[in-house]
Each structure stands twice: as structure tokens, then as C-alpha cells.
Amino acid sequence: MKRTHRVTVTVMLVLLASVLFVTPAYANSSWHWLTPLRPHWLLPCVIVSTLAIEYFSLITLCNIKLAVDRLKALAVVGLANLMSFLAPFLFFVFSWLRDVQAGITSSFGQFADKMPCSFVGLGYLVLTLVVEVPLVYFFLKNRVSNKKKLLLVVVLANIATTLLVAVVQHLFLPGTW
């Protein structure tokens, strides 16, 4: 196996392990919102802006010109984003079920009060990269002339949109412990 492949596989396995083997620590504290806004109210704006930034980054920087390829790019970016948006929620649902079995909590409301104040952070960035980058790269690598550029654009666009969402959440959804 080539050295670059070994490094890539190692990095992907470390990133995947860091997402899969996480133990939450709630420290018996809860987040208090300082405004009536909640993260799910910003979700439609976040979804539209994320899709637009990632899609237009791909078609402009990777020179995707054919209409059928642009449509495929939009579908792939949409599917990859859907999967990366759903992954943290599925993780929290499985965590809640584990807590119910252990007798730590009895209702989803109690569990939701202990959840982190924001879903967007370093863990979410890693999860986004692990979910979205392989999907987008695999489905679009034959539609572009420069595969390395495609990989770089996908990674940088996902980092940019994740940082943007984190900043927006912290600006519009202040709170305190």
C-alpha cells in the first residue's frame, strides 16, 4: 500500500474513532438560553446557506460545466449534508436510549436539557468531514479533471460552512451555564 494511502486510511480511522468512541460528561449542569431563539429555528437558513456555499464552491472551483453534472453535484451535496445533519441527532437519540436503559433519565425532555448548547463544534466538524467528504468525492471524482482539487474544495467548503454555522449559532443563540 502506498504511503499516502496508509496516511489517508489512518487519518480517516482516527477521525471515525474520535466520533464513535465519545463519552459525554454532563457535569450536572444545564444550559440557559438568554434569548427565546433555539437552534432548530435557524436550521432552514443554515441548510440553505450550507448547500449554496458547498454547491457553488464545487461547480465554480472544480469547473463543473455540464447541466447533468451540476444536477448530480447538487443532489450529492444535498444527500451528504442531509446525512451529516442527521448523524448527530441519531447519536443523541441512541445516547438517550442508553441513558433510559441505565436509569439515568426517564424522559427525552430531561435528556434534552442536558444536551450541549450547540451541535456545532470540533466534533461536528470531524463528523461532517467523515460523512460528507467521502460521499461527495466518490460520486463526483469522475466528473472533474482534477481529483486532488475536488478533494481540497470539498474539505475547505465543509470547514468554512461548519465555522459559519458555529459563528451564527453563537451570535444569535447566546446562553450561559
pTM over 0.85: no
Question: Three-class SS string for 121-172?
Answer: CHHHHHHHHHHHHHHHHHHHHHHCCCHHHHHHHHHHHHHHHHHHHHHHHHHH
Q: State the average pLDDT over residues 124-137.
A: 89
Residue 78, C-alpha cell as written in the block:
444535498
DSSP, res 19: H
Domain boundaries along the sequence of the chain: 67-170
Q: Is 176 helix (H, G, I), strand (E, B) or coil?
A: strand
Confidence at 135, pLDDT banded by 50, 70, 90: very high
- Is 111:32 a contact under the CB 8 Å cutoff? no
CA 107 to chain centre: 26
Output 107 or 141, whichever has higher pLDDT. 141
Query: Mean of the per-residue pLDDT values for the chain?
Result: 79
What pLDDT sits at residue 133?
92
Query: Which burial class, exposed, middle or buried, applies to 68 when counting CB atoms under 10 A from its CB (0-12, 13-18, 19+)?
Result: exposed
Q: State the average pLDDT over residues 148-166.
A: 91
> Rounded CA gap, 161 and 156, in Å?
9
Q: List Cβ neighbours of 177 (8 Å cut-off, separation of 6 or more).
A: 29, 30, 31, 32
pLDDT in tens, 40-98: 677 788 889 999 999 999 999 998 888 888 899 999 999 999 998 887 777 777 777 77
> What are φ and ψ of residue 104, in 5° steps?
-75, -35
Residue 170, C-alpha cell as written in the block:
453563537
Q: State the average pLDDT over residues 12-33.
A: 59
Residue 172, C-alpha cell as written in the block:
444569535
Output 145 or 41, whichever has higher pLDDT. 145
